[in-house]
Each structure stands twice: as structure tokens, then as C-alpha cells.
Amino acid sequence: MPSRAELLRELRLRVGDAAVLDAPPAELLTDQRGLYQGAVAAVVAPQSTAQVASLLAYCHEQRISVVPQGGNTGYCGGATPDASGSQLLLLLSGLKAIRAVDPDNYSLTAEAGCILATIKQAAAAAQRYFPLALGSEGSCQLGGNLSTNAGGLNVLRYGMTRDLVLGLEVVLADGRVLDTLRALRKDNTGYDIKSLFIGAEGTLGVITAATLKLLPQPLASATAFVAIPSPAQAVALLARLRAVSGERVASFELIPRIAIELTTRLIAGVADPLDDSSPWYLLVELTSSAADEQLNACLDQALEAAMNAGEISNASVAQNERQRSDFWRLRESIPAAQRRAGASLKHDVSLPITALPRFVAVASAWVAQHVPEGYLVAYGHVGDGNLHFNITASGAGEALLRRQAEIKRVIHDLVHEMHGSFSAEHGIGQLKLEELERYTDPVELELMRTLKQAFDPRGILNPGKVLRNAK
Ligand code: FAD
Ligand code: 2HG
Ligand code: ZN
């Protein structure tokens, strides 16, 4: 390891004085949930792929660990350096060009530091649609989305981030640049290497740009806020909606009563969409890229049939864009409301949708009986079988947080027994290392370690994230 003065001199030589931050703002050294606090040897904000390559070549030679950071909105501490003060924090925010938009090829190439909302706007300016939709889209970056394989609010229709990628540009641990920025939908030329970097959380390479798939813009939509007695009816309603509208079901979100209470109390401008109370709700959206499609009629038909079958107790169909955005505002405010309500334990789980009602019943009963320190706020992307099975502290929080390991173990063991995942969309970071070791097939884990060794033999790329540091 070079002295700090030597390190700073070398970094400045490679990226220029302005791109080396002497005194990093505190928020870069902690994660958005405030779970981890890191320290750094230096912070760099390169402006180009060539600069990233030059930095990594140097770090590789000097065996300096590098922690990539995008918008720092991740849930698992993946972008937070360790406490040693020896790591380099690599900010990607300077790589923010939209390099190309090809509307006729339905593709767009953007650099890793582009904010997700900016990419969506660039696609819309070309009358195209980039579907990835997250509550954090105003601050998360493309490189972070790719590195976490983010999910979000319309995976049901468009898939995870991985499904939206045609090519990547990646700087490898030793500074070589891998260029697979091919705007091709068909390209069976050997192993799909680019796919390995998606969801790798910066442990296999630093993503500097991506070529993304674009889609036709949705021109018609129908949105409803629906009251249901229990999650079992969510499964039934999804089947009904798919029967009448096929792939047009874009979003299918489960919301518990407590989330209505928290958002209406703690977030300005959120109102309860229905006039009577129900234990559970769904926010359902159909979309179509054919402007004249009668989606409201489709939605009404499914809701009426569900009402007649006793599956739903009430529903409000948005009559205009204002009402639609009010429904979405409520849903997207749940994480912020939960944060304002106090400390919480988060479990980002997924199961086959048919198993979700049983999971919710068993796990909720366990929480009610065994966790008097908190209350359940379970919501999420039920159409994908993904629930944020979160528990918020009733009091100051310490008592609940002290029981974190024990509670997590019970919930994740149950998910595992039911053939589900303990991390549906938020990744592993430094938060879920133990879970990965406990629940992952040993052969799969061994292959992960083999890949890490092959891509990063000196272990400089985001060490201690996803996989524990090799002894
Ligand atoms: P960061 O947090 O900066 O980094 C995440 C990981 O990627 C880290 O390991 C980091 O080292 C690595 N990384 C970042 N950039 C690069 C790069 N260029 N190359 C290599 N590695 C890199 N997530 C969902 O999946 N679905 C949701 O619905 C959702 N909703 C959210 C709502 C809110 C209000 C918030 C705060 C977060 C939400 N998230 C959601 C989580 C988060 O926004 C996503 O995980 C997002 O993809 C992270 O992007 P980022 O740029 O903030 O990445
Ligand atoms: C969401 O779906 C995000 O809103 C955040 O994935 C989930 O805060 C959470 O637990
Ligand atoms: Zn989510």
C-alpha cells in the first residue's frame, strides 16, 4: 500500500485534481439505511471509461481495494467501504453520457452514472420506453441498477434489469476493458459473460456503460386500488386479470392496512383511496402500447367478476391521471413512511406466488406471537411473488434490533423450507453474507467463489461483499 500522499498524487495524475475528493461528504461513507459506517483512503470520481481503466490498473498493481458506488440507494451496504480506511471509493456519477439512442432498433446506450430517471426521459424523448421502475429512480444510477439486478414495480411484465440488457462495457480488476456493447437481440457467441456482471454488486468488474432494450411506450393504462380480505385473493385476482388481459398486467402490488395508516399519517399529500377499511389492498395496473385499447373495460370486467365471487370487497378505478398518480404516490411512499415510523427489520423474500398466502399466514402468526417489540409491515410486488416482509419497532427500536439475528433466522428458514429466496431483489452486499452461505446450494457457492477468483484474483473488487473475503 503506498503512503496516502503517494496515493493521492497517483490518483490525481490519472483523473485530474478535481476528480479526487480530499474530504468526502459523510453520506458517501454510510449506506442509506444507516446500517454501516465506512472509512476510505480516498474518493475518486472519474469522468470516463479510460480513467476508470487507468485507476483499476493502478489499484491492481498496488493491491488497493476498490468499492464502486452509484446512487448509494442500495439496501444491503454494498456500496459502503469497510472501516479500515484503506479502500478507494469509486464514484461512477461522472460517467453520465447517453451515448446513443436508436429508436428503430429499440435500443439505447448509456454510461453507468446516468440516473435511472434520466434514461427513462431520454427513451421517452425518442417515443420509446425504458420500463425499469423503482421508487428510487430519481437518485439510483444505471450501474447500480445493473449491479444489483434491480427489480421494482413492473417486473411482472418487463422482467428484472437483467432482462433489459443487450450489452455491457466493464472495466476488469486489472484495468482491461471488456466491450460487449452490441445492440443485438440474437447473439449466441459462446458463454454469456456480460450476464455475470449483472447482480454481481461490483465484485467482478466495474460497469461503465450498457446497451439497453427499449420498448414501445405505454399509451393506455387502467389502474385500480382494490380491497381484499387476505393475500389468497391476490392470487385469484391475478389469474382473473391475466385471463382477460394477458400480458397487459404490468403491476400487481400488495399493500397492508398498516401501510395506509403510516403513509397517510407520515407523508404529506397521501390519502386513503377507499372509504372503508380492509386488511389488505392491491394496486393493479394494466398498460398497453395501443392507444385505443379499452383497458378500463377489461379491468372493470375482472373486478366485477371478482366482486361477485366474493374475492374483493371494494375497488376504486382511477378516473384520471391525478388519481392514478395518487395511488402510486401512496405505494411508493411506503419505504419512507416506514423509515419515519422508526427502526425496522427488512426481509426481501420471494416465493412461488401460489405459496405466498401460506407463507404470510404462518410468518405473520409467528411475528404476532413472538415479536411484541414490533409490528408487521408486509408489502410488495406480489405479482412477482416478492414481499418486503418488514417489521417496524413499536418503541424506540433497540429491543427489536437486538433480536434481529434470531427473527431473521426464523423468517428466512421458513422461506427456505418453502423453496423461496431470502433476497428477491435487493442483493447480498455485506448484510446477507451469512444467509448466502446458509441457504445456497454448496456447488453453486463453490462456483461463485471460482468465478470471483477468476475475475479478481487479487481480491481488490468490493471485497467482503456478496462473498466473504478469502482467508
Ligand atoms: P448503489 O447503492 O450505489 O450500489 C449498489 C451496489 O452496486 C453496490 O454493491 C455497488 O458497489 C455496486 N455498484 C454500483 N455501481 C456500480 C458500477 N457501475 N459497477 C459495478 N458495481 C457497481 N430496489 C429494487 O430492486 N426494487 C425496488 O422497488 C426498489 N425500490 C427502492 C425504493 C427506495 C425508496 C430506495 C431508497 C431504494 C429502492 N431500491 C429498490 C433499492 C435500490 O434503489 C436499488 O438496489 C438500485 O438498483 C441501487 O442503485 P444505486 O445506483 O443506488 O447503487
Ligand atoms: C419497494 O418495493 C422497495 O418499495 C423498498 O424495494 C422495500 O423498503 C423496503 O423494504
Ligand atoms: Zn421492492
> 98-216: which CATH number, 3.40.630.30, 1.10.15.40, 3.30.465.10, 3.90.580.10?
3.30.465.10
Question: 4-91: what fold?
Answer: 3.30.43
Task: Answer whether 430 contacts ligand 1 (Cβ < 6 A).
Answer: no
- Is the pLDDT at 115 greater than 70? The verdict is yes
pLDDT band at 471 (very low <50, low <70, confident <90, very high): low
Q: Whose CA is nearest to atom 35 of ligand 1?
A: 136
> For residues 199 and 34, what is the distance between their CA atoms, to the nearest angstrom?
22
Retrieve residue 342's grid coordinates.
Answer: 422508526
What value does the mean pLDDT of the chain take?
Answer: 97
Residue 105's Cβ-count burial label (10 Å; 0-12, 13-18, 19+) is middle
How far CA 112 is from CA of 124, 206, 333, 444, 466, in Å, comes to: 19, 9, 26, 28, 20
Whether 218-333 and 342-426 share one fold: the answer is yes
What is 342-426's CATH number?
3.30.70.2740
Which ligand neighbours the alpha carbon of 332 most closely?
A: 2
CB of 77 closer than 6 angstroms to any ligand 1 atom: no
Sequence spans of domains, the chain:
4-91, 98-216, 218-333, 342-426
Measured from the alpha carbon of residue 32, the closest ligand is 1
Q: What is the pLDDT of residues 294-324, one digit of tens each?
A: 899 999 999 999 999 999 999 999 999 999 9
Residue 292 predicted with pLDDT over 90: no
- Cα 137 to ligand 2 centre (Å): 12
Place 22 in a pLDDT band, splitting at 50, 70 and 90.
Answer: confident
Contact of 15 with 56, CB cutoff 8 Å: no
Interval 147-176 mean pLDDT: 98
CA of 322 to the centre of ligand 1 (A): 29
Q: Is 283 in a helix, a strand, or coil?
A: strand
List, for residues 89-110, the tens digit of each pLDDT value. 999 999 999 999 999 999 999 9
Q: Is residue 42 scored above 90 in pLDDT?
A: yes
Between the CA atoms of 456, 459, 460 and 461, what dihedral angle is there, to the nearest 10 degrees?
60
- Our answer on whether the CB atom of 386 is closer than 6 Å to any ligand 2 atom is no
The yes/no answer on whether domain 218-333 falls in CATH 3.30.70.2190 is yes
**What pLDDT digit, counting tens, does each position of 175-198 carry?**
999 999 999 999 999 999 999 999
pLDDT exceeds cutoff 90 at 418: yes
Looking at all shown ligands, the one closest to residue 160's CA atom is 1
Nearest to 46 by CA among 102, 95, 87: 95
Q: Is 432 exposed, middle or buried (0-12, 13-18, 19+ CB in 10 A)?
A: buried
Please state whether beta strands 386-393 and 344-345 pair in parallel, antiparallel, or not at all (unpaired). Answer: antiparallel
Whole-number Å distance, alpha carbon 391 to ligand 2 midpoint, is 13
Q: Give pLDDT, residue 23.
A: 78
